Structure 1
Amino acid sequence: MKVLTEENLPLKEETVCTIGNFDGFHKGHRFILDRVIESSKRQGKSSLVITFEPHPKTVLSSGEKPCRITGLETKIDLLEDEGIDYLYIINFSREFARKDPEEFIKFLTEKLRCRTLIVGHDWKFGHQGKGDVQTAKQIGRKYGLKVEVIPPVKEEDKRISSTQIRNLLKKGKVEEVARYLGRDYCIKGKVEQGNRIGSQIGFPTINIKPPEDLCLKKGVYSGLVKLNGQLLPAVINYGNRPTVDGRETVLEAHIIGKKLSFKPEEVKIFFKKFIRDEKRFSDIDQLKNQIKADIQKAMKSLEVLK
């Protein structure tokens, strides 16, 4: 998959495209992406996803802003796994938000060469969200754009939504989240140098910087770490490490039963089950004993122990 910049525009080839935040990257999103790929292959065109960074509501909302389900790096990785050809990231700003619906459709067709646009039934676009799927169809006829509308995707008779997934993540319900995503909840990131306290107490960790304002409940989880194509069992901590310093929010994973002989550049962390809340311990020995107990619980939940 190629991430496009302004220098790549206008595209040479025609595309089948979709547009959205894709924050949850849930089953509903993946259904749309499957249709984009299927339609692009059938038409002999390239598949294109257009997304925003940052989330439009963080720019436009004067009230509470939505927490993040998926950071940009993870989103790019998931789109690549789906088999999308191109990704175009719009730097969302108040200026961009002032584009009227026709201006936006013109941009899609002339710069991104989109000939078929596939979106959800409730898609809105243009200044103050004045454009909807009917507007897009009407303007699209003028610019040679066909618009295909996808109905809501449901799980157990409930419409799947990013709002629903945010609420579950805030409660640490990653097992339930996996049902709506159609995959394990995961975060990908570049490995950072930690303060090596884990190594000093016998539990070395791989540390990545979590996306800002992540929806995930702070605490300890069982899960898997993907390294060089291999999935390794792990106990994961997301939080502020109150026993150690309590200042910085970190995401760290201790690989169970394996000592790494190298420092990976990036990893993907999969969350399987919430184990316990974040807690401050009176001393390091108490923390070490708790980590041992966390590892045992993680191993049982991952069925490492038979």
Structure 2
Amino acid sequence: MQTVHLQFPLQNHEVIAPGQIVAIGEFDGAHLGHQEVIKRAVQRSSELRLPSAIMTFHPHPRQVLGLDKYAQVLTPLAAKQEMLERLGVDTMYIVNFNESFMRVTPEQFVEQMLIPLQVNTVFVGFDFKFGHKGAGTPDTLCELAKGRFVVEIVRPFHLNSHKVSSTLIRERLQSGDVAGAEALLGRPYSIRGSVVHGEARGRTIGFPTANIGVAEPFVIPANGVYAVEATVRGQKYDGVMNIGLKPTFGTDLLQPTLEAHLFDFSETIYGEPIEVALLAYIRPERKFASIQELIAQISKDADQAKSVLAERKTMQSS
């Protein structure tokens, strides 16, 4: 998949693939609903033997609008690119979303973005909005196409009577329901970062941890303890991770830390990239009366995580 960065309006832009089939959306999370839109576009491109493309926006439009709850995203750009590539898309267009683009009308978007790209068919979700203040809807897009390209509107994707959406996934994560988020995403929710130096307390109490520095604006799930699978140096390791403020140690942290204890792992990995998939919620974070009580609970957490992860693997293999 090739990646092309676009600025509005397109000027002297070389058309990468005339007649392409384009799915348009923010696609934060690349969840099951997004996948349905993208898969249908890829399928149509295969049927018509035309190239497929994704058009997305960066940074997240709601970030530019100043909506605080969107300061963090489910899939920062690099993660989103990888996920979309796996769906078989030929080209990913990343439109620079800034305050100027925010004022573009639906008509301008069509005439100065889609028409110059020579699109054949555009796929959008049922709730797609575009143009200044979200004035454009899928019906608007159909009207503005004027027969120059086809518009396909994909109906909402439901799972267990719930409409799959990025908002619902955020709610699941913010309540610690990583299993619920996984069902909506179609994969475990993962956070990427690098291993940074911490206070080395874990090592002194028998549970060394990888302290994860998150450079990208991932949504961080609710404080608590989770069973996880971490990928380090291309290898996967089961583990248990705490997200929180470490109240037992009387810290005055303003932001939660992420500390993962990996089972059967003793390598030094400071500065190394790490990806952690959150597979099950074990318990909320709480303050313990003593370090000894904390150590006993961590041991229980580790045993529970091992049990949960073993059961998960058994179910996946059956």
TM-score by length of 2: 0.83
For 1:81, the equivalent position in structure 2 comes to 86
Cα-to-partner distance string for 1:145-164 (whole Å, 9 max, x where unaligned): 21111011111233222222
- Residue in structure 2 matching 1:170, options 163, 170, 174: 174
CA contact 2:194–2:212 (8 Å) conserved in 1:
yes
Which string of whole-angstrom CA distances, capped at 9 and with x for unpartnered residues, describes residues 2-45 of structure 1? 33224994332232211222223221111111112212222333
| 1:50 counterpart (24, 33, 55) | 55
The answer to whether the Cα contact below 8 Å between 2:195 and 2:270 also exists between their aligned partners in 1 is no
Letter of the 1:218 counterpart: N
Aligned equivalent of 2:131, options 126, 135, 153: 126
**Could you tell me how far 1:262 is from its partner in structure 2?**
5.1
2:296 pairs, out of 289, 295, 300, with 289
Q: Work out whether 1:277 is the aligned partner of 2:284.
A: yes
Residue 239 of structure 1, aligned match among 241, 244, 250: 244
Q: Displacement of 1:196 after TM fit?
A: 5.5
| Distance change (3 Å), C-alpha of 1:179 and 1:97 | same
- Which of 178, 181, 184 is 1:180 aligned to? 184
What displacement does 1:263 show? 5.6
Equivalent position of 1:93 in the other structure: 98
Distance in 1, Cα, partners of 2:95 & 2:248 = 41
Hey, what does 1:191 align to over in structure 2?
194
- Equivalent residue for 1:2? 2
Kept after mapping to 2: 8 A contact 1:196/1:204: no
Distance 1:38 1:277, change over 3 A: same
Give per-residue Cα distances to partners, 1:252-297, cap 9 Å, x unaligned: 3222122336567433321111112223445555443332222111
**Larger displacement relative to structure 2 (219-228 or 94-103):** 219-228
Q: Could you tell me how far apart the structure 2 residues matched to 1:288 and 1:104 are?
A: 58
Q: Which moved more, 1:267-276 or 1:1-10?
A: 1-10
Q: 1:268 and 1:111, CA in 2 relative to 1: closer, same or farther beyond 3 A?
A: farther
Is residue 153 from structure 1 mapped to residue 160 from structure 2 by the alignment? no
Q: Deviations over 1:82-129 (max 9, x none)?
A: 232222223322211111112111343355443211011121111122
Equivalent pair of 2:196/2:270 in contact (CA under 8 Å): no
Greater Cα shift, 208-217 or 38-47: 208-217
Cα distance in 2 between the residues matched to 1:130 and 1:285: 59
Q: For residues 215 and 228 of structure 1, what CA distance do their matches in structure 2 show?
A: 23
Distance 1:72 1:238, change over 3 A: farther
Partner in structure 2 of residue 136 of structure 1: 141
Aligned residues: 303
DSSP-derived class of the 1:222 partner? strand
Aligned with 2:169: secondary structure? helix
Q: What RMSD over aligned residues (CA atoms) do the two structures have, in Å?
A: 2.9
| Maintained 8 Å contact 1:25/1:181 | yes
Is residue 11 from structure 1 mapped to residue 15 from structure 2 by the alignment?
A: yes
Q: How does 1:221-260 map to 2 (within 5 A)?
A: 221-243=226-248, 245-247=251-253, 248-260=255-267
Gaps of 5+ in 2: none
2:25: which partner in 1? Answer: 20
Provide the rounded CA distance (Å) in 2 between the counterparts of 1:230 and 1:111. Answer: 45
Q: CA deviation at 1:75?
A: 2.0
* 1:232–1:281 CA distance, 2 compared to 1 (3 A): same
How far residue 208 of structure 1 moved from its aligned partner, in angstroms, is 3.6
Alignment correspondent of 2:223: 218
Letter in 2 for 1:70: T
**Kindly tell me: are residues 61 and 196 of structure 1, through their superposed partners in 2, closer, same or farther at Cα, counting changes over 3 Å?**
closer
The partner residue of 2:307 within 293, 300, 304 is 300
Query: Closer, same or farther in 2 for the Cα pair 1:107/1:45, shift >3 Å?
Result: farther
CA shift in 2, pair 1:115/1:271, >3 Å: same
SS at the partner of 1:172? coil
